[in-house]
Amino acid sequence: MKEAVGGTFMIYVLLIFLAVYITFVAVALNYAKAFRVKNSVIDIIEQNEGMTDDELNDINKSGDTITKIEDRLKDYNYYVTLSNSYLDKYNDYTCFDRGYCISKMGDDREYYRVVTFVQLSIPFIDFNITIPIRGETRVIERINR
């Protein structure tokens, strides 16, 4: 009888280890996806030599650069729902429906700040956390405009 109890304990230990390992891999993959999205948004902004003020302030969130970003994010399957508390924290940014925010910085030498988010949630214990991932573009040198 003693060996049966010891075997059950080892199965529990194995299940806990497996749950921790799966959670770690899931968090790492979501974190990597948010970094990839941030880098893609920065690359698109730099390739288009920035964004116009109309693109950043448009209620419909339309424009050439925005369309390219949205198309790229569809390929990554990135979508994060931001709560109102996060939207209040980033009120100087323009936040988009897919869960990323862009802000134009500087007057003479403009550059852009981009924030993407990693959202971790465990529904059955009501655990939700959102981690911001920040990045900046290089200084935009407008050649074509």
Of residues 95 and 37, the one with the higher pLDDT is 37
39-93, pLDDT tens digit by residue? Answer: 999 999 988 888 877 777 765 666 788 888 888 888 888 888 877 776 778 788 8
Say what the alpha-carbon torsion angle 57, 39, 133, 28 is, to the nearest 10 degrees.
140
Count Cα neighbours of 22 within 13 Å in the Cβ-side half-sphere: 7
> pTM here?
0.81
Give bridge partners of residue 18 from the DSSP assignment.
none
Distances (CA, A) of 126 to 26, 48, 120, 121: 18, 41, 11, 7
Tokens 């007057």, located at residue = 107
Average pLDDT, the chain: 83
**CA-based torsion, 21, 26, 31, 32: positive or negative:** positive
Q: In whole angstroms, what separates CA 140 from the centre of its chain?
A: 23
Look up residue 46 and give its two tokens.
């730099």
Any idea where the domains of the chain sit in the sequence?
Answer: 2-136
- Render the burial of 100-137: b for 16+ CB within 10 Å, e for the rest: bbbbbeeeeeebbbbbbbbbeeeeeeeeeebeebeeeb
User: What is the structure's pLDDT at 133?
Assistant: 92
What's the N-to-C CA distance of the chain in angstroms? 81
Look up residue 13 and give its two tokens.
């230990």
26-51, pLDDT tens digit by residue? Answer: 889 989 999 999 999 999 998 888 88
Of residues 14 and 2, the one with the higher pLDDT is 14
